[in-house]
Amino acid sequence: MKVAMTVNGQEATADVEPRTLLVHFLRETLGLTGTHWGCDTSNCGVCVVLMDGEPVKSCTVLAAMASGHDVTTVEGMERDGQLDPVQQGFMECHGLQCGFCTSGMMLTARALLDRNPDPTDDEIREAISGQICRCTGYATIVRSVRWAAAHPAQQEAAAT
Amino acid sequence: MQIPAEFSYERATSIDHALELLKSHGPETLLLAGGHSLLPMMKLRLARPECLIDINDLHELDFISSDGDRLRIGALTRHRALAESEEVARHFPIITDAERVIADPVVRNRGTIGGSLCQADPAEDLSTVCGTLRAEVVIRGPDGERTIPMVELHRGPYETTVAHGEILTEIRLPIRPGAGSAYEKVERRVGDWAIAAAGAAVWLDDGRIADAGVGLTAVGLDRGTATRAEEALRGRAPGDDVFAEAARLAAEDCDPVSDQRGPADYKRHLAGELVTRALRRATARALGQESTT
Ligand SMILES: Cc1cc2nc3c(=O)[nH]c(=O)nc-3n(C[C@H](O)[C@H](O)[C@H](O)COP(=O)(O)OP(=O)(O)OC[C@H]3O[C@@H](n4cnc5c(N)ncnc54)[C@H](O)[C@@H]3O)c2cc1C
Ligand code: FES
Ligand code: FES
């Protein structure tokens, strides 16, 4: 069947089997391997992408269900050669070690900051509670998101 | 790699269209809402539909509205919307309690109340909540609409009375005076299914419990409703002795099994304890002694 969606601002169309999961469509059909694929059981959150601005686990969404929708992956976070403040925060505050969970964590953080530009540590922890990190112990992830929230570009975006 | 077996895919554009699609496809056709129960089951071949009808475009089924006597919730309402609704929190804090502990925020962005109730998993929290609140569910089929009490929706684990060709469209919750409600769940880790959970609702009148709802999740209670506990509460003045008696009856009537979430005797103990806690909180809320947020 034919699917057509916007991925990182660009039209993506392809012929896929109805059973194709969004995670495999992104990784294999479009070659966007920044979205990771882990537990395959909706538990770990490494496959998180944004669909219409909200985080979803792409191992549990069919590509067919995403057809007609707007999908953002980690590859789409950078704007005009400028890393998203969230990405900068993860670099500055050691928000990652192996990087396996990182794209999902950053996208969830982006969606959180879009709704709530100044989240508390508890709100950050709640937002990422469906995603597992085996390396950092989460403390540096929370710090990274706080860093991004305090970033001038983020505060400007929040003010407009 | 877990991939579902082959199926064909249709996307419904309206309830009537979904009904037509159900009619024109064989009995091995299933509706696809959030997909967060169905797709994992299909990956494991625990479900093997030949056709899926995606109902995610049926925005007409995505609503929360009150008409004075009852709160109406569309079947496609996501967990997230229920968790964030002030109207829901005001009338039925038990739903807000439950939504805070159902799965995780990302899963809650997709999962729907209709999918939860139709999945009929014995560990599904919203089934207990809706039973406790004496909900009615509206089911639409080719011959029109029928309304049944929540307790008649489930035939058994993973089995409902929604027939092939029918759609659950709406959940109706009666709004009654003197109400308070609460949900208490114990899980192994954040986002997990319940080891055990209890829901309680009380409707107070003149210092007495005019009516009560008591439900249990994941502990093998028939229809999820503790009828004897409810009876023991009716007409009594609320208090710890009365709650303890109700909790004892509820724990006696459930039939938990030992599994990786814990041994049966532990779950039975939890069932009683959680009923007591839920009744205490529900009563405090009915009396305005606890804020509902
Ligand atoms: C990691 C994880 C953890 C979870 N933890 C919990 C938890 O702690 N507590 C809890 O209660 N739930 C939990 N869930 C389940 C979650 O709440 C699901 O979203 C929910 O059970 C199903 O909703 P859905 O919209 O995804 O349904 P789907 O998966 O789309 O559908 C489920 C079933 O219902 C049928 N169906 C759907 N909508 C309708 C309708 N309108 N009419 C008739 N039939 C319909 C489908 O055909 C299918 O058989 C968890 C899920 C995951 C993935
Ligand atoms: S791969 Fe999707 S949640 Fe783990
Ligand atoms: S950085 Fe390794 S899993 Fe999170």
Q: Do both A121 and A147 map to the same domain?
A: yes
Contact B191/A at CB under 8 A: yes
Q: Do both A24 and A90 map to the same domain?
A: no
Residue where a domain stops, chosen among A23, A43, A76:
A76
Domain span at B27? 8-52
Question: Domain total for chain B?
Answer: 3
Q: Which residue has the tokens 């925005």?
A: B59
Question: Domain total for chain A?
Answer: 2
The CATH number of whichever domain residue B93 belongs to comes to 3.30.465.10
Q: What is the pLDDT of residue A155?
A: 80
Q: Do both B128 and B167 map to the same domain?
A: yes
A18 in Cβ contact with B9 (< 8 Å): yes
Q: Do both A155 and A89 map to the same domain?
A: yes
Close Cβ partners of B78 (under 8 Å, ≥ 6 residues apart): B34, B62, B108, B109, B110, B111, B112
Domain span at A100? 85-159
Residue where a domain stops, chosen among B125, B146, B173:
B173
What residue ranges in A18-133 does DSSP mark as E strands?
48-51, 54-57, 70-72
Partners of B32 on chain A (C-beta within 8 Å) are: 62, 65
Residue B14 lies in a domain: yes
In the three-class reduction of DSSP (H, G, I as helix; E, B as strand; rest coil), residue B75 is classed as: coil
Residue where a domain stops, chosen among A76, A108, A123:
A76
Min mean pLDDT across A14-18, A55-59, A147-151, A152-156 is at A152-156
Residue B186 lies in a domain: no
Closest CA relative to residue A88, chosen from A32, A44, A152, A132: A152
The CATH number of whichever domain residue B41 belongs to comes to 3.30.43.10
Ligand 1 centre to CA of A17 (Å) is 23
- What is each CA distance from B184 to A111, B122, B164, B181, B202, in whole angstroms? 29, 16, 34, 10, 15
Closest CA relative to residue B29, chosen from B7, B57, B58, B59: B7
Bridge partner list, B208: B205
Q: What is the pLDDT of residue B224?
A: 87
Residue B145 lies in a domain: yes
Contact A127/B at CB under 8 A: yes
B274 in Cβ contact with B198 (< 8 Å): yes
What interface predicted TM-score (ipTM) does this complex get? 0.96
Q: What is the pLDDT of residue B291?
A: 54
Interchain contact, B9 vs A1, CB within 8 Å: yes
Residue B181 lies in a domain: no
pLDDT in tens, chain B (293 residues): 899 999 999 999 999 999 999 999 999 999 999 999 999 999 999 999 999 999 999 999 999 999 989 999 999 999 999 999 999 999 999 999 999 999 999 999 999 999 999 999 999 999 999 999 999 999 999 999 999 999 999 999 999 999 999 999 999 999 999 999 999 999 999 899 999 999 999 999 999 999 999 999 999 998 889 999 999 999 999 999 999 999 999 999 999 999 999 999 999 999 999 999 999 999 999 999 985 44
Residue B58 lies in a domain: no
Give A66-102 pLDDT, tens digit per residue.
999 999 999 999 999 999 999 999 999 999 999 999 9
Residue where a domain stops, chosen among A46, A76, A106:
A76
Contact B59/A at CB under 8 A: no
Give A13-45 pLDDT, tens digit per residue.
999 999 999 999 999 999 999 999 999 999 999
pTM: 0.96
